[in-house]
Amino acid sequence: MTTSGTTQLDNPLLDFSGLPRFAAIRTEHIAPAADALLAENRALIEKLTLKDTLATWEAFVTPLESANERLGRAWGAVSHLHGVLDSPELREAYNANQPKIVQYYTELGQNLALFEKYKALAASKEFATLSLAQKKVLENEIRDFRLSGAELPDAQKKRLAELHEELAALGTKFSENVLDATNAFSLYVEDHAELAGIPEDVLETARNAAEKDGKPGWKLTLQAPCYYPVMQYADNRALREKLYYASTTRASEFGPADRDNGPLIMRMLEKRRESAQLLGYKSYAEVSLVAKMADTPKQVLDFLDDLAKRAKPFAERDWKELQAFAAKELGLAKVEAWDAGWASEKLRQQRYAFSDQEVKQYFPEPKVLDGLFRLVSTLYKVSFEPEAAETWDPAVRFYRILDAAGAVIGRFYLDLYARETKRGGAWMDEVITRRKLRDTVQVPVAYLICNFSAPVGNRPALFTHDEVLTLFHEFGHGLHHLLTRVDQLGVSGIRGVEWDAVELPSQFMENFCWEWEVLEHMTSHVDTAKPLPRELFDKMIAAKNFQAGMGTVRQLEFSIFDMQLHHDFDPAEKKTPLDLLEEVRDRVAVMRPPSYNRFANSFSHLFAGSSYAAGYYSYKWAEVLSADAYAMFEENRSVATGVLDAATGARFRDEILGVGGSRPAIESFKAFRGREPSVDALLRHNGMIPA
C-alpha cells in the first residue's frame, strides 16, 4: 500500500475499535496517521479555546482527553514497534514523524488559552462537584502547563519548543546507537575448550546462532542472555575481558564516530539545563522533582548519602572477601571488573554449594507463569486466560484478566525473548488505559517485555532466579496499570503516579520470589519434573544477601551520578560526565572499573528519553516503600497461608494498585500501612540490620 493511496479507513493506526492491528501496520501508514490525527487535534483545540466553549468537564476536558488518547494510542503502537521490531524502514519513518509529535505536545503544553480554560474550571462552582480523581487531573494539568512554559513570553516558548524537539531526537539517536553497537559485535569461537564453564543451554543457543550465520563453532554476542552467563561462568579470562571491553565501550569514542554517544550526552545535558533555566529553575533536577515525592535535589542526595554510609561497610566487607577468595582459591592476584562476576559465582558455589544454573533447571517457563498467575489470583481474586490477538512476533502471547465474577478487567501482551530487533532490558508500557466511556468502562491493556533466552529445541525456556525476579518486577508494573479502579484517564493506572513511587508495585512483587509457599508451586525440574528441593531453597535464602552491600553501593553510584549530573554539573565547564562519575566512585564504590569503561554511553535510563533523568534514585526511594509495604504481609503471616494473606492483598489492591495516581503516593502508602514509611524493612531485607 502506498502513502498516496492510504485512506483513514485503510489505515490500521487510525482504527481505535479494539487492540492494535499489528499484522496490518506498515511503515507507510505512520505519516498519514500522524498527520491526520494532528490535524484533527489542532482543529479541536482551536474550537475548545473559543470564548463560547464552556470551561466545564464535559464540554472541554473530555473531548480534549479523547483526542489526545487517540493520538497516544496510534503513536504508542509505532513507538512500541520501534522498540521491539526495529528495522531500517521503521526507524526512518519513526524518526521522520517523531518531531511532529513532540512539536504538537509542546504546543499543547504552551497553549495559554487552554491553560486559562483549565484554571477557569478549577476556579468555577463545578469544581466542588468533581470527584477527587477529576480534581487531581486538573491539579496535574495546571502544574504541567507551567512546566511546559505556558506562561513564558513567546520568544522563550519558541526556544523551549526547539529544545524539546532536539532532546527527543537526541534520545532516539542515543537508543539506536546502543542497539546498533550491541548488534555490531559478535565473536565466533571454534575451539570448544575456550568456552569451558559456560552453561550448555547458552552454548546451544550460541551454536544455533553460528549455524544461522553459516559459520562453524559458536557465536557470542552482547545480548543479555549470552553476555551475562559468559561473564558469570566462562573460565577463559581472556574471553571474559574481550566481551567486557566490547560491552563497556559500546556507543563510545572507541567505536565508529557516528555511533559515539559521548557528544550526544553533552548536548542533552546542555539542552536540559537550558530548558530548566528558561522555566526559572536552577537545574533540570529541580524541574524533574516538581512532579515527584521528593522535594529537592538536596533531600534526594541526603537520602542517597545516608544509605551509602549504611551500606558501604557491608560493601567493603564483600569486596575484601571476594579478593581474598580469588587470591587463595582462584589464583587471581587482582580481581578486575571482568573477573568479578565469575569469581563471585565461584565464591557463592563454595559457600552455599549451589549455582544459578542448578536452580535454573527448576524454572521452566510454563511452570513459572502458572506460579505467577496463581500468586496474583490468590492475592487479588482474579484469574488469567490466554486469548487470541494479533502480535508483532509469533512468540508473543496475549492474556485476559477476569475478576471473581468472570468479567474481563484487563489484558496484556507477553513478549519474553531477546531478539536482534529488540532493545535490551525489560519494561511495561500501556497500550490502552482504563477510562469511563458513555455506556461502559474501557478495559486497560499492557505490554510486558523481557529479554530472556528463547526455548531451544523441544525444551521450554529456562529462567534463572534473577530472571524470575525480573518477570515479577515487570508484572508488578503491569498490575498497577491493569488492576486500577480509577476511571479518569489522567490518573488511571500508572498515570499521574509520582515517578519516585512508580516502582513500588514492581519491587514489591519481587519479594514473593523468596517465599517457599510461592516457589514450591512454580518449580518443576525440566528433566525430572520434581519441584525445587527444600534444601536447595534454603541455600538460596542463605545466599539471598550475598554481596548485597556491593549491589547496593553500585545502585547508589548510578543514582548519585544521575542526580549530580542533572543538578550541579555544568556542561560548559571542563569537567566531563566521566570525571563526575569517578568522583562519585571515590565516595561510594568499592570496585573500580578500568579507565576505558564508558558506562554512561549506554545508560539508557538517563539518555534514551528522559523518564529516569534526575530520577534514577526512584529505584531506591521506592524500594523503601515496597520493602515496608511487604513487611505488612510478613507481619500478617500465618501457618495456613504464609505471606499470601488475601485480606492484606485486598488492602494492597484497594489502597495502592486500585487508586492509581488519583491521590498523592504518600497518602496511598499511609492508607495501606497506617503510618509513614520506614527504611528499616529495606535494611533488614538486605541483611544490613538483624531480622
CB 493 within 8 A of CB 433: yes
Interval 662-689 mean pLDDT: 95
Q: What CA–CA distance (Å, rounded) separates 147 from 350?
A: 54
Could you list the beta-strand ranges (E) of 194-264: 218-220
Average pLDDT, the chain: 96
Can you give the pLDDT at residue 58? 96
The pLDDT value given to residue 611: 80
Q: Which of 155-169, 208-222, 605-619, 644-658 has the lowest mean pLDDT?
A: 605-619
- Position 318 pLDDT exceeds 80: yes
User: What pLDDT score was predicted for residue 609?
Assistant: 75
Give pLDDT tens digits for 482-516.
Answer: 999 999 999 999 999 999 999 999 999 999 999 99
Q: Could you tell me if 446 and 478 are in contact, meaning their C-beta atoms sit under 8 angstroms apart?
A: yes
Dihedral, 163, 165, 169, 170 alpha carbons, nearest 10: 10
User: What is the percent of the chain with per-residue pLDDT over 70, rounded to a whole number?
Assistant: 98
State the angle between helix axes of 297-329 and 618-635 in degrees (0 to 180), rounded to the nearest 10: 80
92 is catalytic: no
Name the active-site residue from 474, 498, 515, 655.
474
Q: What is the C-alpha separation between 336 and 332, in angstroms, rounded?
A: 9
In the structure, what pLDDT confidence band is assigned to residue 596 with cuts at 50, 70 and 90? very high
Whole-angstrom distance, CA of residue 574 vs CA of residue 688: 39
49 by DSSP, 3-state: which? Answer: coil
Q: For residues 556 and 304, is the Cβ–Cβ distance under 8 A?
A: yes
Band the pLDDT of 438: cuts 50, 70, 90. confident
Answer yes or no: is pLDDT of 6 > 60. no
Give the DSSP H/E element, type plus range, for residue 408.
Answer: strand 408-417
Confidence label for 610 from pLDDT (cuts 50, 70 and 90): low
8-17, 185-194, 365-374, 548-557, range with the lowest pLDDT: 8-17
Burial label for 204, CB within 10 Å (0-12, 13-18, 19+), is middle
CB neighbours (10 Å) of residue 350? Answer: 10
The DSSP code for 616 is: T
Q: Is 614 left (phi over 0), alpha (psi -120 to 50) or beta?
A: left
Give Cβ neighbours of residue 531 (< 8 Å, ≥ 6 apart): 362, 520, 523, 524, 525
Is pLDDT of 7 > 80?
no
Report the pLDDT value the prediction gives residue 690, as an integer from 0 to 100: 78
Let me know: does 67 contact 75? Beta carbons within 8 Å. no
3-state secondary structure of 223: coil
Q: Which domains, and CATH codes, for the chain?
A: 12-151 (1.20.1050.40), 185-249 (no CATH)
* Residues 280-300, mean pLDDT to the nearest whole number: 97
Give the pLDDT of residue 8: 62
Instruction: Taking residues 462-466, report their average pLDDT.
Output: 96
End-to-end CA distance of the chain: give it in Å, rounded: 64
What is the DSSP secondary-structure string of 643-688? T--HHHHHHHIIIIITTTTSS-HHHHHHHHHSS---SHHHHHHTTS
Cα separation, 575 vs 588, whole angstroms: 19
Residue-level pLDDT at 456: 87
pTM beyond 0.85, yes or no: yes
The pLDDT of residue 3 is above 50: no
User: What cell does 420 get?
Assistant: 536482534
